[in-house]
Amino acid sequence: MPHLLDVDHVVRKFGGLTAVNDVSLHLDKHELVALIGPNGAGKTTLFNLLTGMVQVTSGKINLQVDDKNYDLTHKSAVQIADLGLSRTFQNIRLFKDLTVMDNVLTAMTNEYKENFLTTVFRLPSFYKTEKEMRAAAQKLLAIFDLTENEQTLAKNLPYGTQRRLEVVRALATHPQILFLDEPAAGMNPEETADLTNLIKYIQKEFQITVLLIEHDMSLVMNLAERIYVLDQGEILATGSPEEIKANPKVIEAYLGEGDD
Amino acid sequence: MKSNWKYILSWLLLMVGGFYLINALIMVGVIDDFIENMLVTIGINIILATGLNLIIGFSGQFSLGHAGFMAIGAYATAIITQRMSSEAGFLVSMFVGVLLAIIIAAIIGTATFIRLKGDYLAIATLGAAEIIRNVINNLKITGGAAGLYNIPQLCSWPTVYILFCVTTIILTNFIRSKNGRAIKAVREDEIAAEAMGINTTKWKLAAFVLGGATAAIAGSLHASFLQTISPSNFGIMESISILVIVVLGGVGSMTGTFVAAIVLGVLDTALQSFGALRMVIYAIVLILIMIFKPAGLLGNWEFSLKNLTRHFGKKERS
């Protein structure tokens, strides 16, 4: 049985440095998987490989949707986004000078077709499409409690809210797989708890697969059905949260002993 | 739905009203030939500068080659209307100019946008415009360095006014739509835009081509109104003076471009009696504005009838 996403012996070298070394992993439909590991382990590079921002040196990436196979190996970021893989960024990359609403609408660019003439001469179909887009965006913003901030510029939002908006924007592309790069970074425990519930909710509600990078172990152990541990570019271990917690190799490389 | 029509109608009324206002002022003699010339120059400058603002302010691509596209439109009109001296000939020439500008902008854009950004892109577009100018300089049909003269005057201020309205409608509506959001996203963060499935090269190209096409329209008007053109009209200095309007008004504000073009146009005309001192005063005013308003006269603020009526609605209620 093929997986939704199959990453097969992927290698990425930057000059003499091997950032990702022979990594194989897979994601199934509606799974919530976490990717953990110490700083510099290659987690973000792996995300960049999966979303086409960086090309693999060798190996294969394969997507299987509705019995159709897509080879993602040498596809561009735009093509991969169109196939339903969406992401957030570790160092928040919102469109800072656009409003919250426009940030979300931007993610719907490819979904709604607007013809040049109907747009520039404001024919009725322009207003119809625009209305549909706005309604869809408002629905998403309401779920994430951002309705009040609709007209706020993204750069003026508090940090935690910016992270939330990035998730909304990623969801607006209607992804099959959502990659979250440290969604809880810089959040206080209360915000983290809210975020945990929210991720659980969107995974169920939107029926999507989520792969997340996170350092906050309470969040990871709470959410993830499966965990991959990456260390020095290689997969060190994989398994359920309980198995990972008990794995001596993981404890040594990342989690640390309880008493030090 | 109803309110949309209300705003469209208000804008149309404003445009038609402006037309008849100028018309009336000419009839009673308030606007003489001198001021009419100034108005036409301002109109052409607004067409040029709004197109450049689309490229620089909205898609975030630094272009220094806007005069090149203007030259294409100007020469298309000069060459065609000299052989076909009629209103129809003028329209055909403008169409040909726009078409040529679109094709050439697409070629230049494809060649440069894939690899170049910022200063490097500016230099590349500058080079492209110089190539256009040099080709014109060395062709027989364009009259070489001497240029073309005795171009039939087939456009008067109403033609300029109508085309100025049409290009403004096209550009502002383009920006206030899905397309505009996409090009602004490219300006804000290319990596994030690509992650959202936005083809950054395609959208940069769309802005560049649309900007180039409007510059060609301005070139056609310029050639037909002034009746004399030469390659030296379309050099780096022309590109820079269009850029000055954009920067002065506020990069990313179409309203600002309007205000700056009008301020500079009036200033330029008012200073004509100062002779050699004119450029010095002009430059000092520019420097002062940039010191006290570094983001341009209007920053990225836009005038909107919708906000205006909302504002007044609030006042009345309170």
Report the chain A residue with the minimal C-alpha distance to residue B186: A95
B197–A110 C-beta distance less than 8 A: yes
Residue numbers of B between 6 and 35 with CB closer than 8 Å to A: 8
Task: Give the closest of A81, A119, A129 to B196, CB-based.
Answer: A81
Report the chain B residue with the minimal C-alpha distance to residue A173: B196
Q: What is the pLDDT of residue B272?
A: 85
Which residues from chain B sit within 8 angstroms of residue A108, using beta carbons?
A: 178
pLDDT digits (tens, 9 = 90+) for A150-168: 999 999 999 889 999 999 9
Q: What is the pLDDT of residue A257?
A: 57
Residue A185 burial class via C-beta count within 10 angstroms: exposed 0-12, middle 13-18, buried 19 and up: middle
Q: What is the pLDDT of residue A259?
A: 47
User: What single letter denotes the amino acid at residue A253?
Assistant: A
Phi and psi (nearest 5°) for B115?
-115, -25
For chain A, give the DSSP string: ---SEEEEEEEEEETTEEEEEEEEEEE-TT-EEEEE--TTSSHHHHHHHHTTSS--SEEEEEEEETTEEEE-TT--HHHHHHTTEEE--TT----TTSBHHHHHHHTTTTTS---HHHHHTT-HHHHHHHHHHHHHHHHHHHHTT-GGGTTSBGGGS-HHHHHHHHHHHHHTT--SEEEEESTTTT--HHHHHHHHHHHHHHHHHTT-EEEEE-S-HHHHHHH-SEEEEEETTEEEEEE-HHHHHH-HHHIIIII--TT-
User: Terminus-to-terminus CA distance in chain B, angstroms?
Assistant: 27
B1–A127 C-beta distance less than 8 A: yes
Q: Secondary structure of chain B in the HEC alphabet?
A: CHHHHHHHHHHHHHHHHHHHHHHHHHHCCCCCHHHHHHHHHHHHHHHHHHHHHHHHHHCCCCCCCHHHHHHHHHHHHHHHHHHCCCHHHHHHHHHHHHHHHHHHHHHHHHHHHCCCCHHHHHHHHHHHHHHHHHHHHHCCCCCHHHCECCCCCCCCHHHHHHHHHHHHHHHHHHHCCHHHHHHHHHHHCHHHHHHCCCCHHHHHHHHHHHHHHHHHHHHHHHHHHHCCECHHHHCHHHHHHHHHHHHHHCCCCHHHHHHHHHHHHHHHHHHHHHCCHHHHHHHHHHHHHHHHCCCCCCCCCCCCHHHHHHHHHHHHHC
Q: Which residue has the tokens 């660019």?
A: A109
Q: Which residues of chain B have pLDDT under 70?
A: 1-2, 313-318
- Mean pLDDT for A98-108 is 95
Cross-strand partners of A213: A35, A181
Q: What is the pLDDT of residue B282?
A: 81
| B282 inside 8 A of chain A by CB | no
Cβ contacts of A31 within 8 Å, gap of 6 or more: A4, A209, A210, A225, A226
Q: What is the pLDDT of residue B31?
A: 87
Task: Give the closest of A121, A133, A173 to B196, CB-based.
Answer: A173
How many CB pairs lie under 8 A apart between chains A and B?
A: 103
A93–B192 C-beta distance less than 8 A: yes
Cross-strand partners of A177: A85, A209
Q: What is the pLDDT of residue B2?
A: 65
Residue B313 burial class via C-beta count within 10 angstroms: exposed 0-12, middle 13-18, buried 19 and up: exposed
pLDDT digits (tens, 9 = 90+) for A232-247: 999 999 999 999 988 8
Which residues from chain B sit within 8 angstroms of residue A82, using beta carbons?
A: 197
B4–A109 C-beta distance less than 8 A: no
Residue A58, token pair as written in the block: 């060798």
- Mean pLDDT for A26-53 is 93
Does residue A250 register a pLDDT over 80? yes
Task: Give the closest of A95, A110, A114 to B184, CB-based.
Answer: A95
| B205 inside 8 A of chain A by CB | no
Q: What is the pLDDT of residue A177?
A: 95
Which residues from chain A sit within 8 angstroms of residue B199, using beta carbons?
A: 78
- The whole-angstrom distance between A128's CA and the closest CA on chain B is 9
Task: Give the closest of B4, B184, B197 to A98, CB-based.
Answer: B184
Q: What is the pLDDT of residue A260?
A: 44
Task: Give the closest of A95, A112, A130 to B185, CB-based.
Answer: A95
C-beta of residue B201 within 8 angstroms of C-beta of residue B83 = no
Pick from A96-110, A170-184, B276-290: least confident: B276-290
Which residues from chain B sit within 8 angstroms of residue A53, using beta carbons?
A: 191, 194-195
Question: CA of A11: how far to CAs of A18, A181, A218, A237, in Å?
Answer: 7, 20, 30, 17
Q: How many Å apart are CA B206 and CA B202, to the nearest integer? A: 6
Cβ contacts of B119 within 8 Å, gap of 6 or more: B62
Q: How many Å apart are CA B178 and CA A133, to the nearest integer? A: 9
Neighbours of B272 (CB within 10 A): 10
Report the chain A residue with the minimal C-alpha distance to residue B3: A127
* A220 Ramachandran zone, left/alpha/beta (phi>0; psi -120 to 50): alpha
Sheet containing A226-231, strands listed edge to edge, beginning at the edge strand earlier in sequence: A85-87, A177-181, A209-213, A32-36, A226-231, A234-239
C-beta of residue B218 within 8 angstroms of C-beta of residue B235 = no
pTM of the model as a whole: 0.92
Q: How many Å apart are CA A224 and CA A35, to the nearest integer? A: 9
Kindly state the greatest CA–CA separation across chain B: 69
- B contact test, residue of A99, A119, A151 with most B CBs within 10 A: A119
Report the chain B residue with the minimal C-alpha distance to residue A117: B170
- The whole-angstrom distance between B6's CA and the closest CA on chain A is 13
- The whole-angstrom distance between A5's CA and the closest CA on chain B is 18
Report the chain B residue with the minimal C-alpha distance to residue A116: B174
A112–B189 C-beta distance less than 8 A: no
| Nearest Cα residue to A20 out of A40, A45, A1, A3 | A45
Q: How many Å apart are CA A57 and CA A20, to the nearest integer? A: 9
Residue B207, token pair as written in the block: 């802005």
- The whole-angstrom distance between B168's CA and the closest CA on chain A is 10
